[in-house]
Structure 1
Amino acid sequence: MATSKARTRPVRTLVVLGVLIVAMFATIFAGTKLDAKSEDNPNGASWAPGLALDLQGGTELILKAVTEDGSTPTDEDMDQSIAVIRQRIDSSGVAEAEITRQGATNIVVGIPGEVSQSTIDLIVTPAQMAFRPVLQILAPGATATDEPTDGATDAATDAPTDGADDAAATDTATDAATDTATDAATAAPSDGASDAASDTATDAATDDATPATDPSDLAQITPEVQAEIDAFDCTDPANLTGGNSGSADDVLVTCDDTGTAKYVLGPVEISGDEIDSASAGLQTTQSGATTGAWEVALKFTGQGRDDFAASTERISTLESPRNQFAIVLDGLVISAPSVDEIIPNGEASITGSFTRESATTLANQLNFGALPLTFEVQSQETISATLGAEQLKQGLIAGVIGLLLVALYSLAQYRALGLVTLASLVIASIVTYGVITLMSWTQGYRLSLPGVAGLIVAIGITADSFIVYFERIRDELRDGRPLVGAVERGWSRARRTILASDTVNFLAAVILYVLAVGSVRGFAFTLGLTTVIDLIVVIMFTHPVLQLLAKTKFFGEGHRGSGLDPRRLGVDSIRYGGRGRVVTPKRPVADEVATLDADREPVAVGAAAGEGRRMTIAERRAAERKAAEAGTEPDQADAAPQARDQDEETH
């Protein structure tokens, strides 16, 4: 019953494959309408896959590594810097970037396509990151004031309530990397709190004899610091370029990275290299349910865990905004989360009005904000893809030639059956194109020239799978099976061979992708991708199509043009034609007659019998019938030869 059911499912399998293909291209169509590719959105959806640097051109940066003491960077520092830069670029959604070392101090970064300034800034951002306690949050302008203006209040109010209650999220956060400086998660002081903070600061500024007791003490705001605060203007673009992280032991007056708020920060309590890991994800409740809100999970190292526990123990008891700590990257505040309770295990969850993009950006900044070196941009230029375009043209011509050769061979060797090979290659090409185009939009993947080479190699790999299957079917036909049975039996045997072959190819692609660097990984990726697609097409298209064709008269009866003609396969003996029919070839009847051995087991005789090959059921029944018509016993059939020739007939 299982076999019977399996034979009734080819149409269902083809429909499922068709639905998947339609859904894939429908998704791309929706993307072109909702998130279309443009100059402002280079990673948007498009009907054409993204191209890498060698095919499309892009921007080339030459960065010079600079150490704090002016010494020559070590090889380890340069290698680590290249790894971090590559991770930064990949995390920003750009694929197929070329990063190479040039000499002892230079790193060449090639980025394909239109490159946004934010991506360039992310690459060259210096490595200095620190955690400082917040003393004040003020309006961005340079005018001295006792309380934040409306702009600062709008940018720094509305502390979250739900995020602080989660077991894993003990500190709520703001995301200054997005539209506002401190985001909806930063709690700004109310008017009364602001007045109290300002009054306290004034008192502290007039009492030089009162030393600061901790990094959050407002006594650190001396008259000199207050004058700097009054004069500092976050609306001036010059104050938003970064690069000034200040002294780790002194108060820092700075801005958020969007220039919408001014921060007064205490001394550094935790350095950026104490961060163990950071990741963006959806918040979960204590029961494990997903809330749909985004968060950034932050984890510190051993020393960082102790320092963070001591810091949160102190600032969690303070009023707003001194219950916040600022994450400072390159002298600018990228986030300023508030703390409501002690975090002793060094694992914090920064929550707020994050989107997926803003949460990912903050996680990337936390993860890769500690380069061992700083970099100076020596040059930045746009490179063309004239040579790459010519190479792409030649590569496509080579692919077309290879496809035509495969088509000619298939048609010559398998005749009409070769059309199944061509149809399967077309389906595989459509699926591959759709997957690469979809990945260009959703994953930032870009097709490089080595990737095109991988696609061309895939033509041979895909055709090889069909050849294995067809030859297995022919073997079964030679053994006397009807076509329907030969298709099923041949598939069960060919499937193991195809799986083994594709597994080897896929493992080779994975190993090459892991061990290789640069453009070679593009070849490995497309090779692995097309191997998986080949397996899908053989299972969901080629096999079901052959199941349907086996039931047609043209293929089922072995037409000369079908590629399954018994004569071309060397099958000269009697065979079963389906529906109780037995087909006999054109040759003397005497050669068709079989004898039974001593144990009455059927054994074929004659030149076409295959040197004592055991007869099939169809052959045995036909031999017995002809022996009965001749009036002889089956074991004496060879003694009553028929001299006349018979045309091929169906019984």
Structure 2
Amino acid sequence: MALTQPVRHARAGLTWLVVILVALSGLLTAGVLTNQTTWAPKLALDLEGGTQMILAPRVQGNSQVSQDQLDQAVEIIRQRVDGTGVSEAEITTQSGRNVVVSMPGTPDTKTRELIQASANMEFRPVITGAAWTATPEASRTADKDIPAPTAEPKNASDTNWVSKDLFKKFEAYDCPTELAKPERPQNDPTKPAITCDPNTQYKYIVGPVEVPGTDISNASFGMASNSQGMSTGQWAVNLEFNGEGATKFRQVTERLVAATGFQNQFAILLDGTVLSAPTANAVIADGRAQITGSFTEESARALSEQLKYGALPISFEIQSEQQISATLGQDQLKMGLIAGLIGLLLVAIYSLFQYRALGFVTIASLIIAGILTYLAIAILGWLQNYRLSLAGVAGIIVAIGLTADSFIVYFERVRDELRNGRPLTAAVETGWDRARRTILASKAVNLLAAVVLYIVAVGNVRGFAFTLGLTAIADLIVVFLFTHPMLQLLARTNFFGNGHRLSGMDPRLLGAEPFYKGAGKFREPVTVPAGKGSSEDDGAASVAKESSRKARGAATNGERLTIAERRRLQENQSASATADHESGKGADNA
């Protein structure tokens, strides 16, 4: 027998849900088997403890660090740490001079370097360069076109910046030795400098700073595209400058595009070390530049983060580091989980009491939503360094009620259709069409609130917002791919389709009886009282009176009426009054 369209849709939805669950479970399993992660989600500082680092500002001479600089440093370090994931780190100032960074777990080398990195970011044009391993003779041969200084430099790319002494120092400059030094002197931004690129193993003489790192408004990474907008399959880093930076960068690229050799490059320096030294292929007039090359996804992400969060006015060194215990610990986590289980149990009891056997669909839906959320949190902890805090647990607990609300809206819509006399299969489809809009609107509001809260908040509040939004997405997946498909299939079973008293879909318990009762049985017709005639008006009046009587009786007995029942009661009362009035007029005329 051919399957009906609702049954096909139901099976397709359940199939997609299974595919999603298997894919997430397989991904997490692969991470566990390769020792890259564990089955349990990563925990935040308040639940697991972690590492506390005290950062001392690195300044020149007797310069003093202002409170404004420290505040800016705290904000940028927080952005750098959060850029690696919602890690629930705590960043504060200490004694008006130091910055205290408390992070869950043990930070890796890259995270330490990112925290300590100065925002002394500079864009300098390259004047000349050579490989680290080049001999002085090879370096001199490669730069034979550089004349001896004869006049004042006209711009930052002018070779007149390269004096005889500077070039001798460049020839003898040993990049591996210089980069290994814990502290290196800061370069004067108004003068040329010697720098090294550890990625390409080239050393350069660069001109004065033309664009400071503070002029970067944003940086991101993604796939590069050509002039036709088609992807080239290569990773790229995208740069955006503010108004002043865009003007400066346009002037720089206008000059560099016309140059050749090393002088066609500009070097991006962080703490005196080259992050990248791309060539200028076109004039960038709008302040939006794209750096391409042999990037991987990881290297493109790393460079974009360094550029985006590089505007730190001072650099830091780790003065002390120690392990700290959890501020809340496992007891609070257990209490939070117990609170969540109690909430889940209460929802289950209410669902079984209100919807009887249909309540098991609600319970199963909540369990599946919980599995999806758990897998997502565990995978995000592995891939994005997300850590679950007690505030995040609170967001999941709150989401239990919000998720159950979606099922209640759907079930009540279906029951309203049953009260209107529709069979269950038709009531499911019609009720879903009406409930779907309400559910989507509700979840859109939840997601919007979570996104706004995540953007404007910091610390643990962001963890609450994150789990709130994540569970809203899981709720939508479950409602569309499990709850509705299951109801479509259950509506075609004898237990639910025939309205068993324990099914939760018995029309008689809902105050209505369907016209077709199944198995060839129909609703019994209402008997018209003698003396009223057999006209359609009299029959309608009799039905209206009977329905009105039943509804009034239900209200008198203390039973709760739905909105549809109250509306029907008012309509029936109005119809009954009209019928009585017309009947009275007929009697008077007789």
Distance of 1:500 and 1:258 partners within structure 2: 50
Between stretches 391-400 and 273-282, larger displacement belongs to 273-282
Tell me the amino acid that sits aligned with residue 117 of structure 1.
Answer: T
1:118-197 superposed matches below 5 A: 118-140=110-132, 145-147=136-138, 194-195=140-141, 197=143
Between stretches 548-557 and 406-415, larger displacement belongs to 406-415
Q: 1:348 to 1:268 in 2, by over 3 A?
A: same
Q: What corresponds to 2:17 in structure 1?
A: 17
Deviation at 1:426, TM superposition (A): 1.6
Higher helix share: 2
Deviation at 1:364, TM superposition (A): 2.4
1:420-569 superposed matches below 5 A: 420-565=361-506, 568-569=509-510
Q: Please list the CA deviations of residues 6-64 of structure 1 after superposition, one character each: whole Å capped at 9, or x if unmatched.
A: 4653222222322233333334445556xx554xxxxxx65443332223333222335
Between stretches 405-414 and 238-247, larger displacement belongs to 238-247
1:91 matches 2:83: yes
Deviation at 1:464, TM superposition (A): 2.6
Q: Tell me, yes or no, if the aligned pair for 1:594 and 1:602 is still in contact at 8 Å.
A: no
Q: What corresponds to 2:44 in structure 1?
A: 52
Q: 1:317 to 1:510 in 2, by over 3 A?
A: closer
Between stretches 327-336 and 399-408, larger displacement belongs to 399-408
Which of 92, 106, 112 is the aligned partner of 1:114?
106
1:330 matches 2:271: yes
Deviation at 1:239, TM superposition (A): 4.5
Deviation at 1:331, TM superposition (A): 1.1
Q: What corresponds to 1:577 in structure 2?
A: 517
Q: Tell me, yes or no, if the aligned pair for 1:200 and 1:218 is still in contact at 8 Å.
A: no
Distance of 2:282 and 2:171 partners within structure 1: 32
Between stretches 364-373 and 255-264, larger displacement belongs to 255-264
Q: 1:516 to 1:267 in 2, by over 3 A?
A: closer
Q: Please list the CA deviations of residues 520-568 of structure 1 after superposition, one character each: whole Å capped at 9, or x if unmatched.
A: 1211221122123223322322122122212211222233332334564
Q: What corresponds to 2:569 in structure 1?
A: none
Q: Tell me, yes or no, if the aligned pair for 2:150 and 2:160 is still in contact at 8 Å.
A: no
Deviation at 1:355, TM superposition (A): 1.3
1:601 matches 2:553: no
Distance of 1:413 and 1:302 partners within structure 2: 62
Deviation at 1:318, TM superposition (A): 4.6
1:399 matches 2:340: yes
Tell me the amino acid that sits aligned with residue 195 of structure 1.
Answer: T
Distance of 1:493 and 1:215 partners within structure 2: 67
Q: Secondary structure at the match of 1:555?
A: helix
Q: Please list the CA deviations of residues 556-603 of structure 1 after superposition, one character each: whole Å capped at 9, or x if unmatched.
A: 2233332334564455x786312531367xxxx9xx734467524345
Deviation at 1:246, TM superposition (A): 1.5
Q: Tell me, yes or no, if the aligned pair for 1:603 and 1:613 is still in contact at 8 Å.
A: no
Tell me the amino acid that sits aligned with residue 376 of structure 2.
Answer: V
Q: 1:131 to 1:528 in 2, by over 3 A?
A: closer
Tell me the amino acid that sits aligned with residue 126 of structure 1.
Answer: S
Deviation at 1:195, TM superposition (A): 0.9
1:41-440 superposed matches below 5 A: 47-64=39-56, 70-71=63-64, 73-75=66-68, 77-93=69-85, 95-102=87-94, 104-140=96-132, 145-147=136-138, 194-195=140-141, 197=143, 204=148, 214-236=155-177, 239-241=180-182, 243-257=184-198, 260-339=201-280, 343=284, 346-385=287-326, 387-440=328-381
CA RMSD, 1 decimal:
3.6
Distance of 2:170 and 2:514 partners within structure 1: 102
**Please, what TM-score do these two structures have when normalized by structure 1?**
0.73
Deviation at 1:416, TM superposition (A): 1.8
Q: Secondary structure at the match of 1:322?
A: helix
Q: Secondary structure at the match of 1:62?
A: strand
Q: Please list the CA deviations of residues 123-158 of structure 1 after superposition, one character each: whole Å capped at 9, or x if unmatched.
A: 2212212222334434547x962225xxxxxxxxxx
Q: 1:379 to 1:550 in 2, by over 3 A?
A: same
Q: Tell me, yes or no, if the aligned pair for 1:244 and 1:330 is still in contact at 8 Å.
A: no
Q: Tell me, yes or no, if the aligned pair for 1:239 and 1:255 is still in contact at 8 Å.
A: no
Q: What corresponds to 1:178 in structure 2?
A: none
Q: Tell me, yes or no, if the aligned pair for 1:279 and 1:296 is still in contact at 8 Å.
A: yes
Q: Tell me, yes or no, if the aligned pair for 1:67 and 1:373 is still in contact at 8 Å.
A: yes
Q: What corresponds to 1:161 in structure 2?
A: none
Q: 1:602 to 1:127 in 2, by over 3 A?
A: same
Distance of 2:461 and 2:425 partners within structure 1: 44
Q: Tell me, yes or no, if the aligned pair for 1:294 and 1:355 is still in contact at 8 Å.
A: yes
Deviation at 1:292, TM superposition (A): 0.6
Q: 1:274 to 1:482 in 2, by over 3 A?
A: closer
Q: Secondary structure at the match of 1:115?
A: coil
Q: 1:480 to 1:317 in 2, by over 3 A?
A: closer
Tell me the amino acid that sits aligned with residue 25 of structure 1.
Answer: S
Q: Secondary structure at the match of 1:130?
A: strand
Tell me the amino acid that sits aligned with residue 414 of structure 2.
Answer: I
Q: What corresponds to 2:573 in structure 1?
A: none
Q: 1:213 to 1:22 in 2, by over 3 A?
A: same
Query: Share of identical aligned residues, percent?
Result: 49
Q: Please list the CA deviations of residues 57-106 of structure 1 after superposition, one character each: whole Å capped at 9, or x if unmatched.
A: 3322233557777445244x444333322222233446333334455444
Q: Please list the CA deviations of residues 261-313 of structure 1 after superposition, one character each: whole Å capped at 9, or x if unmatched.
A: 43333333333233344332222122221111122233444444454444444
Tell me the amino acid that sits aligned with residue 26 of structure 1.
Answer: G
Tell me the amino acid that sits aligned with residue 347 of structure 2.
Answer: V
Which of 608, 611, 615 is the aligned partner of 2:549?
611
**Please, what TM-score do these two structures have when normalized by structure 2?**
0.80
Q: 1:277 to 1:473 in 2, by over 3 A?
A: closer
Q: Please list the CA deviations of residues 157-200 of structure 1 after superposition, one character each: whole Å capped at 9, or x if unmatched.
A: xxxxxxxxxxxxxxxxxxxxxxxxxxxxxxxxxxxxx5152x56
Number of equivalent positions: 545
Distance of 2:528 and 2:100 partners within structure 1: 80
Q: 1:313 to 1:498 in 2, by over 3 A?
A: closer
Deviation at 1:480, TM superposition (A): 3.8
Q: Tell me, yes or no, if the aligned pair for 2:85 and 2:385 is still in contact at 8 Å.
A: yes
Between stretches 602-611 and 548-557, larger displacement belongs to 602-611
Unaligned runs of 5+ in 2: 553-590
Distance of 2:325 and 2:122 partners within structure 1: 40
Distance of 1:9 and 1:367 partners within structure 2: 46
Distance of 2:386 and 2:187 partners within structure 1: 39
Q: Tell me, yes or no, if the aligned pair for 1:594 and 1:603 is still in contact at 8 Å.
A: no
Task: Decide which structure has the larger Cα Rg and report it.
Answer: 1
